[in-house]
Amino acid sequence: MSGPPHLEGELVTSRRGFFWVVDDAVALPQGTVPRGQIFVQWEAPETVTKPYPIVCIHGGGGQGTDYLGTPDGRPGWATFLVQAGYAVYVVDRPGHGRAPFHPDVLGPVGSLFPYELVSALMTNSADGPMAHPTAHLHTQWPGSGDPDDPLVHQFAAGAGWLPANFAAANALERAHGAALLDEIGPAILISASAGAPMGWLTADARPSLVKAIVALEPIGPPFMVDPNLGVSLDWGLTASPMTFDPPAASPDELEKAQVDDWTLQANAYARYVGHSRLGIGPHLGEKQGQYVDSGVVVRLADDRKALSLTITNLTDEIGNRFAFGAPITTGEDQITPLRPRTARIGFEVTF
C-alpha cells in the first residue's frame, strides 16, 4: 500500500451486518457463558441476483477475514462473490477469530501456527520440508512466502490454533452450521482445509438446505491420523459422527482400505475455443476454433514409481486449431486439425 487504506480501498454499495449463532451455554463458577458460538459477517449487493447465498467457512487456525481480503490488501473472495450478485455469509468457527476461545469453555488448545509452519504448509511449500507433488502449482502468493516475509506475518497475525479435541470441535461446528442454515435458509457452502468437516457435517445435519459444497483443499486424506495436529478423522471425512447407510454406530464398523504409501492424483480440464478467423481472403479467412478441448490425467505414485493415464480430446472433437496450416505448405484450405481422442499410459521409475 502506498497510502492509508481508507484512501485506496474500493468504494462499494451493499447491505451488510453481523450476528452470532449462539445455541449452547455452559455454567461456570463465575456464571453462565456461551459455548461454541460462531460469528457471522454478511454482505449482499443492492440487488441479489443469485438464488442461494454462499457461506464461507475458513480453514484451521484461520478466521473469516481470510475471505475478506489478501495479506497485501487486495479484495478477497467475499467481495468478488458480492459483486457477482450473491449474498455472502462469512463465519468464524467456534474458538476462532471473533468467536472467542477460552479453555474453560472449549477445552485445551492444540498446536500453534508459527511463521515457519505457515511458510512450509501454505506460502512456500515447494521449497520447504512439507513439499508435495503439486506444491509447485501454488504460485499466487504475492511475496516470497518465507518465514521472514512481511505478508506471511500479516497472514499469521490472524491465525490461532486448532482445538486439542478436534472431534468435539467438529460436533460444535455441526450444530452451529445447522442452526445458521435454519436461520438463513438454503445455501451453498465454501469450505477450506480444516474447515471442511464443518461443511460435510452441516450437510449431514441439514441435507435439504445445502445446495452445493465447494471444498478447497479439504483436510485429509480420509481417515487421516496426524498426532502433530491432534487430528484423527475417525469417520473418514470428519472426526465426529456422520450418517452412513447402512448405519454405523462407531468408526470401528466402517470398512477401510489401506493403500500403503501410494498417492492417487486426478486432474481434468475443459475449455471452449470460440469461433474466429485470422483475417480475410482465401487463406486467412478460413474458419478456426469452435470446439471443446478437454482431457484428464490420473497418476498413482509412491516415492520411487508412478503409473499414469492421460486422455486428451475426451469428446473426440473435430476442429481446426489454426487456419493457416503449415507455413511451408501452399494452397487453400490449410488447417491444423485437432488430434483425435488419444490415450497414453506412462510408467516412471526413479533410480
The rounded distance, in Å, linking the Cα atoms of 317 and 61 is 46
Residue 101 phi/psi, 5-degree rounding, is -110, 135
Cell numbers found for residue 320:
481446426
Question: Nearest CA to 122 among 134, 144, 138, 142?
Answer: 138
Give the list of residues 6+ apart from residue 292 with CB closer than 8 angstroms, or none: 270, 271, 272, 273, 315, 317
Instruction: Quickly list DSSP for 14-75.
Output: EEEEEEEE---EEEETTEEEE-S-EEEEEEEESS--SSS-EEEE--TT--GGGGTB-TTS-B
Scan for cell 506471511, then name that residue.
152
Strand, coil or helix: what is 262? coil
What is the SS3 string spanning 99-114? CCCCHHHHCCECCCCC
Cβ proximity of 55 and 173 under 8 Å = no
Strand, coil or helix: what is 319? coil
Q: Which one of the listed residues 119, 193, 240, 294 is annotated catalytic?
A: 193
Residue type, 106: L
Has 193 been annotated as catalytic?
yes
Residue 108 CB-half CA count within 13 A: 4
> CB count, 10 Å around CB of 41?
21
Q: Which residues are catalytic?
A: 193
